[in-house]
């Protein structure tokens, strides 16, 4: 079994699902997992935070780059989305961008 490394702590369950979708679309395996303390007990999560995302050690750097691109895109204003293409390498991101532009442009 590969060694997993914590790569991202989402703010809510929706962000967790979105980031997992981006990672899986780019071929990165990821799991939600709460770390264990040395005595084997799970730590109590901060109220409302979902479990952190973990990726295999050999994919951790790629996963962090994808997450950084997602976070940058998530912070763009509506006007920026219309002119700035996403930095992701996959066609999945292009489809998301096109869909968002159509939604933001209105009827």
Residue 14 has pLDDT above 60, yes or no: yes
- Higher pLDDT, residue 79 or 3: 3
Q: Supply the CATH number for residue 40's domain.
A: 3.30.70
Average pLDDT over residues 42-49: 62
Looking at the domain assignment, is residue 99 inside a domain?
A: no
Residue 85 has pLDDT above 80, yes or no: no
Looking at the domain assignment, is residue 102 inside a domain?
A: no
Which strand ranges, in their side-by-side order, compose the sheet holding 31-32?
A: 4-8, 53-56, 31-32
Q: How far apart are CA 70 and CA 102, in angstroms?
A: 19
pTM over 0.85: no
> CB–CB of 54/11 below 8 Å?
no
Looking at the domain assignment, is residue 58 inside a domain?
A: yes
Banded model confidence at residue 58, pLDDT cuts 50, 70, 90: very high
Q: How far apart are CA 19 and CA 66, in angstroms?
A: 9
Banded model confidence at residue 22, pLDDT cuts 50, 70, 90: confident
Instruction: Supply the range of the domain harboring residue 9.
Output: 4-75
Residue 6 has pLDDT above 80, yes or no: yes
Looking at the domain assignment, is residue 20 inside a domain?
A: yes
State pLDDT tens for residues 63-84. 998 888 888 777 765 555 455 5
The domain tally of the chain equals: 1
Looking at the domain assignment, is residue 95 inside a domain?
A: no
- SS3 of 82, please? helix
Looking at the domain assignment, is residue 18 inside a domain?
A: yes
């Amino acid at each position: 079994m590969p060694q997993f490394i914590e790569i991202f702590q989402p703010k809510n369950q929706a962000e967790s699902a979105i980031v997992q979708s981006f990672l899986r679309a780019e071929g990165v395996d990821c799991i939600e997992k709460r770390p264990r303390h040395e005595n084997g007990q799970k730590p109590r999560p901060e109220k409302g935070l979902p479990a952190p995302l973990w990726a295999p050690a050999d994919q951790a750097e790629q996963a962090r780059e994808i997450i950084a691109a997602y976070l940058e895109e998530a912070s763009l204003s509506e006007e920026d989305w219309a002119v700035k293409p996403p930095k992701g390498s996959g066609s999945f991101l292009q489809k998301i961008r096109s869909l968002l532009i159509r939604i933001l442009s209105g009827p």
